[in-house]
Amino acid sequence: MIQTIRNAWKIPELRKKILFTIFALLIFRLGSVVPVPFIDSDLLGNTLNSMGGIFSLLGTMNGTAFSMAAVFALGVQPYINSSIIIQLLTVAIPALERLQREGGEEGRKKIAAITRYVTVAIAILQGLGYYTLIANTNSGALLDTAGLPGWWAAIVIILCFTAGSAFVMWLGEQITEFGIGNGISIILFAGILSRIPGMVTTMYTGIQNNLNGVTDSFNLPWWGAILIVIGMLAIVVLIVFIQNSERRIPVQYAKRVVGRKMYGGQSSHIPLKVNMSGVMPIIFAQAIASLPATIGMFFGKSAQSEGGWGVFLRIFDTTSIIYIVVYFLLIVGFSYFYSTMQFNPVEVANNLKKNGGFIPGFRPGKPTADFIHKVLGKITMFGALYLAIIAIAPIITGAIIGVNSLAIGGTSVIIVVGVALETTKAMEAQMMMRHYKGFLE
């Protein structure tokens, strides 16, 4: 990856794209430390960090901005949730499906516009829920409004959260258009990386407490820290291996005589990636699994609350068995859903038949489609189990050793490594396109 960046830096146009991406990420990090008015970010951060659970999840996905109640506190979560809703509606509503398949460039622009409007609506709802949580935590995080009415302060805070989320969405689109790679993924990548210093500090503090014999707070033996680092490196190696793995279905093209020339007769293959859906099933599953806690935010409730709300939210806390099982099943289910949306065996079989291609041992048409569907099912199951195990293993480890900041390390590593690999491939494609001289030179 480092060599790819060095080679890309030598090309003026790619150098501008890299600099634009870096500048956009600097703006994102700047907005992640600017608190909204009327909120004491230090008091709020201490309160949310002590709550753990779903707030650690939201904090990791959105970086330090969430616990600080910064302008970009909601991050890309509203846009991700909006994309999930639109993709589900595209399958359920025939008009949206036709717009996506047959609308061409204009259809994609209309769907993108709908996604933006839904993002703003979700950001308003999440901003309202976040404000309600802040107002009801009794942490003293809400500052004196200097004589202004309380409803005015609430409107200002909610609008700041909404505007920040809309700006992050726009910034991601600018990175996609003028920078390198997928903008939303890169912003998510930057938000996760911003939590690494805090995670390292937590591990260091735990080791120090263990060496000094402090038992009333988190302590971690030195060999435990080494095992965690080795485990993270092993996860990275596994993710890179799976991300680059694919199942190749051989395809043979029949010979055809057109005029005086003979076409076809060559062999090829259909590449099916083992992890075809990437990290999207995990993001989808997180959005669904965090719904109970999100609903609780609207009523100012958390897992520490008393009564029925507290029991309900503790059941769906990120360290509970029920949450882990639901999270596992959602990842597997969304993996099948996403692979079905991306790859249609019937369409592939029909295209092979039209072009005179066939899979050795299978007749063109339905037998070919059935074989591809069978292979796709096996690959999807392997990829779904891989994603689910990688996602829940650190959650279980974090629950056992009591480190909330490590509880979603598997999800974070999958996103970080996946985005890094995709960005590297995007730069390599850009360099190949610029170094290609054509047939005449």
- Count Cβ neighbours within 10 Å for each residue of 89-109 and write b for 16 or more, e otherwise: ebeeeeebeebbeeeeeeeee
User: Longest Cα pair distance anywhere in the chain, in angstroms?
Assistant: 90
Determine the Cα–Cα distance for residues 387 and 273; give it in Å rounded to an integer.
14
- Residue 225, pLDDT > 70, answer yes
The rounded Cα 319 to chain-centroid distance in angstroms is: 20
pLDDT for the residue numbered 285: 81
pLDDT for 263 beyond 80: no
Kindly state whether residue 157 falls inside one of the protein's structural domains.
yes
Query: What CATH number is associated with residue 137?
Result: 1.10.3370.10
Q: What is the pLDDT of residues 356-375, one digit of tens each?
A: 788 888 888 888 888 888 88
Per-residue pLDDT, 57: 59
Which helix H or strand E contains 272, and what residues bound it? strand 267-273
Asked if the structure places residue 395 within a domain, the reply is no
Which structural domain range is residue 113 located in? Answer: 1-194
Strongest mean pLDDT among 5-19, 158-172, 175-189, 235-249: 158-172
Residue 344 pairs with which residues in a beta bridge?
none
The answer to whether position 14 is within a domain reads: yes
Number of independent structural domains in the chain: 1
**Calculated CA dihedral for residues 81, 84, 86, 89, nearest 10 degrees:** -130
User: What is the DSSP track for 122-177?
Assistant: HHHHHHHHHHHHHHHS-SS-BPP-TT--HHHHHHHHHHHHHHHHHHHHHHHHHHHH
In a domain, 426, yes or no: no
Residues 307-318 have a mean pLDDT of 74
Q: Using CA atoms, how far apart are residues 327 and 318, in angstroms rounded to an integer?
A: 9
Q: What pLDDT, in 10s, does the model give residues 50-77?
A: 555 555 556 556 666 777 778 888 888 8
Q: Do residues 308 and 296 make contact, with C-beta atoms less than 8 angstroms apart?
A: no
Q: What is the pLDDT of residue 434?
A: 66
What is d(CA 393, CA 404) in angstroms, rounded to the nearest whole number? 13
The predicted structure's pLDDT at residue 119 = 92
Q: Which long-range contacts (CB under 8 A, 24 or more apart) does 9-12 make?
A: 11/430, 11/431, 11/434
Q: What is the pLDDT averaged over residues 98-111?
A: 79
Domain-located, residue 390: no
The angle at the Cα of 83, spanning 98 to 155, to the nearest 5 degrees, equals: 125
Select the more confidently predicted residue: 433 or 114: 114
Mean of per-residue pLDDT scores for the chain: 78
CA 124/CA 102 separation, integer angstroms: 32
Region 212-241 average pLDDT: 78
Q: Is residue 75 part of a domain?
A: yes
| Predicted pLDDT of residue 120 | 93
For residues 35 and 68, is the Cβ–Cβ distance under 8 A? yes
Is the pLDDT assigned to residue 402 strictly greater than 60?
no
Domain presence at residue 322 = no
Q: Has residue 328 been placed in a domain?
A: no
DSSP, res 181 = S
pLDDT (0 to 100) of residue 414: 78
| Confidence (pLDDT) at 186 | 87
Helix axes 104-136, 94-102, angle to 10 degrees: 130
How does residue 145 score in pLDDT terms, banded at 50, 70 and 90? low
**Is the confidence at residue 439, as pLDDT, over 50?**
no
Q: Kindly report, residue by residue over 148-194, the tens digit of the pLDDT.
A: 667 788 888 899 999 999 999 999 999 988 888 888 888 888 888 87
